[in-house]
Amino acid sequence: KAFMQRHHIPTPAYRVFTDIDEAKEYGATCPLPIVIKADGLALGKGVVIAEDRDTVFSTLTSMMVDHIHGMSGDTIVMEQFVTGPEVSLLVLCDGEHVLPLASAMDHKRAWDGDTGPNTGGMGVVAPNPYYTQDVADGCMQHIVFPTIRGLKEEGSAFIGCLFFGLMLTPEGPVVIEYNCRFGDPEAEAVLALLGDDVLDLLVSAREGALDTKSIHFHPGYAVSVTLASKGYPVASEVGKTIHIGHLPPGSSVLHAAVKRSSDGTLTSTGGRVLHVVGRAETLTEARNLAYEAVKQVAFEGMHYRTDIGCRALEGEESDGSSGAVVS
């Protein structure tokens, strides 16, 4: 957040706290809702949107006193709540040059209708229909390029894949978060659209040669649906036998929290177990394909959202477009 302020990169207003009493004092009078973030890795679950004072205080206690996210909760960020379509953007960087991958729309909440607790991600659509060419041009000019320049100027030139978590507010795009990695589950859908060898691109990034590369994408859309364990994201049941039938052409199942025994049996080992991906020419076709493939997968307690892609379809209809850009 301080980096973004130094380099005039748009981001919501915020306060940082390391003392629980000071955080609670601010929380007693701050505007609601307020976004509370653990300042570190928390498996995608370190963000709470607190809509009332009780949630503010209980969240601060769980993060800073009970340490539910370990040391990541020693410092917390309390951030202005902003609204608008969210966009995940993965950008390959070689320290100076960039190649953006397809934009994506994550679905963070556990249950249909964007309800329930935050998760590491229950599904993705790529590209994001709200990320039009005009929006992309503005984000590159005001967010991506200033970020890469700023990192280089401060002696921390970034090489690899940089994740930009964006929100398209009525006042314009803002940065919600950075991650120095491929997003999960964004990568499952984004890489399904990539027409090039990702390893070749990463090697070029390491060698400072992205300016010699172009990037190509398959036409259409990819939709990824996360299959989670019963109890996720609070207390996941594991050790369940996984059965995968015949997948329809154009779909795939990516293993996340899965163990294969010596006899080939697959069992679940964590919360988000599998990602089922469908790729097709239209968003509706990709969505239908992904859910047809989901029907071929089963394990006890399997949970998934049935509305992945519905919000994206609304985005297409709102501007009549297929105007989403992938680069």
- Tens of pLDDT, residue by residue over 175-217, are 999 999 999 999 999 999 999 999 999 999 999 999 999 999 9
Angstrom distance (rounded) from CA 13 to CA 185: 27
Residue 315 binned pLDDT confidence (cut-offs 50, 70, 90): confident
Question: First-to-last CA distance in the chain?
Answer: 26
Residue 320 binned pLDDT confidence (cut-offs 50, 70, 90): very low
Q: Which domains does the chain have, with CATH numbers?
A: 2-80 (3.30.1490.20), 86-212 (3.30.470.20), 221-319 (3.90.600.10)
Query: What distance lies between CA 125 and its chain's CA centroid?
Result: 11
Residue 324 binned pLDDT confidence (cut-offs 50, 70, 90): low
How many Cβ atoms from other residues are within 10 Å of residue 284's Cβ? 15
Task: Quote the pLDDT of residue 322.
Answer: 44
Q: What percent of the chain lies above the pLDDT cut of 70?
A: 96
Sign of CA dihedral 25, 26, 28, 29: positive
Q: In the structure encoding, which two tokens stand for residue 198, read together?
A: 């990702």
Cβ-contact 110, 122 below 8 angstroms:
yes
| Measured CA distances, 95 to 187, 192, 275 (Å) | 21, 25, 31
Give pLDDT tens digits for 266-290. 999 999 999 999 999 999 999 999 9
Read off the pTM.
0.87
Task: Quote the pLDDT of residue 46.
Answer: 86
Residue 42 binned pLDDT confidence (cut-offs 50, 70, 90): confident
Beta carbons within 8 Å of 137's beta carbon, 6+ residues apart: none
Task: Quote the pLDDT of residue 44.
Answer: 67
Task: Quote the pLDDT of residue 325.
Answer: 65
Contacts 24+ apart (CB under 8 A), 169-175: 169/82, 169/83, 169/84, 170/83, 170/84, 172/10, 172/138, 172/142, 173/10, 173/87, 173/135, 173/138, 173/139, 173/142, 173/143, 174/10, 174/11, 174/12, 174/82, 175/4, 175/9, 175/10, 175/11, 175/143
Q: Which residue has the tokens 């998934």?
A: 304
Exposure of 192 by Cβ count < 10 A (0-12 exposed, 13-18 middle, 19+ buried)?
buried
Q: What is the overall mean pLDDT for the chain?
A: 94
Element (H, E) at 169: strand 159-169
Sign of CA dihedral 314, 318, 322, 327: negative
Task: Among 38-47, 48-57, 111-120, 244-253, name the one with the lowest average pLDDT.
Answer: 38-47
SS3 100: strand
pLDDT at 323 over 60: no
